[in-house]
A and B are shown apart, each in its own frame.
Chain A
């Protein structure tokens, strides 16, 4: 059996690794000169920045991605962050994420415990947003800000723009898998290890290879056209999301096209900083609920010092984009950093923003429409088709799991 995979992002590579391991003859076509999509290293001034990700694996060494990497035999060392996350309070004091309930008056604290336990079991079925859901039980400024900081960091959205059930699903997964970790070598080490596995299974990776068309015969995908040349296959997997993929063939399914229209990508800004001394002092998440824009920061060099030149730290902040004025959004992020670290020595390396065709998430949380398409033997993987409740690369892995199960190789 032959499989053609469009795109070498994490979703494409995970699928290719699974399929090649199961005996498929696999070709991965990537239009860029390098592999990994938004999960690749971007060498810059001696630092290992990234094309997208903050070098973080949300559920660390025990999550869905880690599990899949070990199944396919990809050799990646993931260092779980300790502490997992801290919160910077209004008075600039830092507390452990696990202790945030202690910030509440005792009655609210007890109520939060009960409501969270209940809601994790019985998730709200309506489309109530996480902000409204929080407000329903607690009128508390700290909790609302923390909700925004959490959703901004994890989903690049404001709490008012995410369904509560999605966030609760994410919180449930945090309890189940624990969180987060940093792969040694950065996110590029993950996609690099997958590429090695695919090659050792006999698969082929082609860079500078743009898929301009999916070949369909009798409602069935039978191959792709790459830089104008037709290549036939039994199965086509696209890593470029539903909206991009349906432009590669003549899609006539109106319901599907309508559904795609409703999918909105999420926008974000990452500020990459070189610091002469640690700004936060650990590689876990540093949530910042009391800023204008920045939702959180990490400092991955505590897990892997080689991501920066000797003696330097790589610090990255993330913020959801709130207005259409991107320059103002960036300025607000930069002022947040100035206010938070007034006496530290650091330098801005690169400001990276993401939206539309190259977003933080192709399908904003709660808007996913699954992995199938109207065409048989054509599936979508990647962050435009994540598995339920899985954030970022964990969701990408759960989506890939769904697809390989459908193909019948589990």
Chain B
């Protein structure tokens, strides 16, 4: 998953990730628990996440 520079670090994606795979500290970073399910994409309020 790719997080664009637009990410503000609001943590919404982290709360909705079913695999607890996102750490947020100023911005979102996915760790190796990510299985690329794509859930987080829809929950980002500024469409900062894309699936490649």
Do A and B come together as binding partners? yes
Chain A residues with CB under 8 Å of chain B are: 32-33, 37, 42-44, 49, 51-52, 208, 326-327, 329-330, 350-359
Q: Which B residues from 2 to 17 make CB contacts under 8 A with A?
A: 6, 8-12, 14-15
CA distance in complex: A42, B43 (Å): 11
Q: B15 to chain A: which residues have CB within 8 Å?
A: 42-44, 49, 350
Prevailing SS type, chain B contact patch:
loop
Number of A-B contacts (CB under 8 A): 60
A33 contacts which of B6, B9, B27, B42 (Cβ < 8 Å)?
Answer: B42
Offer 16 A-B interface pairs, CB within 8 angstroms, sorted by A: A32-B42, A32-B45, A42-B12, A49-B15, A52-B10, A330-B25, A351-B9, A351-B26, A352-B9, A352-B24, A353-B8, A353-B10, A356-B8, A356-B46, A357-B8, A357-B46
Q: B46 to chain A: which residues have CB within 8 Å?
A: 356-358
CA distance in complex: A125, B35 (Å): 57
Chain B residues with CB under 8 Å of chain A are: 6, 8-12, 14-15, 24-27, 42-43, 45-46
Q: Are B45 and A352 in contact (CB under 8 A)?
A: no
Q: Are B9 and A51 in contact (CB under 8 A)?
A: no
CA distance in complex: A327, B6 (Å): 16
Q: A37 to chain B: which residues have CB within 8 Å?
A: 45
Q: Are B26 and A327 in contact (CB under 8 A)?
A: yes
CA distance in complex: A359, B9 (Å): 10
Among B6, B9, B10, B14, which residue has the most Cβ atoms of chain A within 10 A? B10
B9 contacts which of A32, A52, A208, A326 (Cβ < 8 Å)?
Answer: A326
Nearest-Cβ distance from residue B44 to partner chain A, whole angstroms: 9
A358 contacts which of B10, B24, B25, B42 (Cβ < 8 Å)?
Answer: B10
CA distance in complex: A33, B41 (Å): 11
Q: A350 to chain B: which residues have CB within 8 Å?
A: 11, 14-15, 24
A208 with B8: in contact, given A327-B26, A353-B26 (CB under 8 Å)?
A: no
